[in-house]
A = this chain, B = another copy of it.
Amino acid sequence: MSTLPEKTIERLSMYRRVLQTYQDNQSEFIYSHELASLLHLTPVQVRRDIMLIGYSGTQRKGYSVKELINKIGDILDGNERINAVIIGMGHLGKAITNYFNTKRSKIDIVAAFENDSTKVDRIISGIKSYHTDSLEMILEESNVTIAILSLSPREAQDVTDRLVFAGIKGILNFTSVPLTVPEDVSLENYDMVTSMEKLAYFVKEKIRDENSL
């Protein structure tokens, strides 16, 4: 199967989550319009996404919840578990680590890195925290493909370069720094300020539109 559209991948992740709670509570099958309604999407979009991943339901009956969950798992998770590290165990880093390692998931955060000596060589939020100096050493002896960046912006590009050099293939960047990475490294940015400013803009626009009617 060729690479799926980005937006479809995002929705697959969301389908799976709601299917998992649906599975526990409800029926064995689910209709596209039910799944759509749980996520405020259209039934067509759900059907199209499911078509794209090559799964088929039964007409008049819907999709097998269990099979669909498994099929999504095949696509999102693959076979092996994925190891991640987190750089920067400040407020955000601790929140993320704490959150992630209380969820069941195929992705594990296996180590943290810190600069601040008071946070090094300790267990924080359930995982071992190392000094950033030993980044290369630790990464060499473990199979880590993803890094989460929640460190001070000032250090973000330097550490990124080292991560890339050490063979990291994906970066989830919470610093607002626009990172430079080579082509073969995937980069996901989340910028909370942008998110807030965007929301504020559309709130303003809606109020303006209402007043102008």
Q: Which residues of A contact B (CB under 8 A)?
A: 3-4, 6, 9-10, 12-14, 17-18, 38-40, 75-78, 82, 84, 90-92, 94-96, 98-100, 103, 105-107, 145-146, 169-172, 176, 178, 180, 184, 186, 188, 190-207, 209-210
Give complex CA distance A100, B95 in Å: 15
Whether A198 lies near B9 (C-beta < 8 A) is yes
Give complex CA distance A204, B14 in Å: 19
Give complex CA distance A10, B194 in Å: 6
From B180, B186, B193, contact of A13 by CB (8 A): B193
Whether B172 lies near A186 (C-beta < 8 A) is no
Give complex CA distance A127, B178 in Å: 30
Whether A203 lies near B146 (C-beta < 8 A) is yes
Tell me the smallest distance from the CB of A78 to a CB of chain B, in Å. 5
Whether B6 lies near A198 (C-beta < 8 A) is yes
Evaluate whether A202 and B17 lie within 8 angstroms (CB atoms) in the complex, with A91-B95, A98-B91, A196-B107 already known. no
Contacts of A180 in B (CB 8 A): 40
Whether B196 lies near A75 (C-beta < 8 A) is no
Contacts of A178 in B (CB 8 A): 14, 18, 38-40
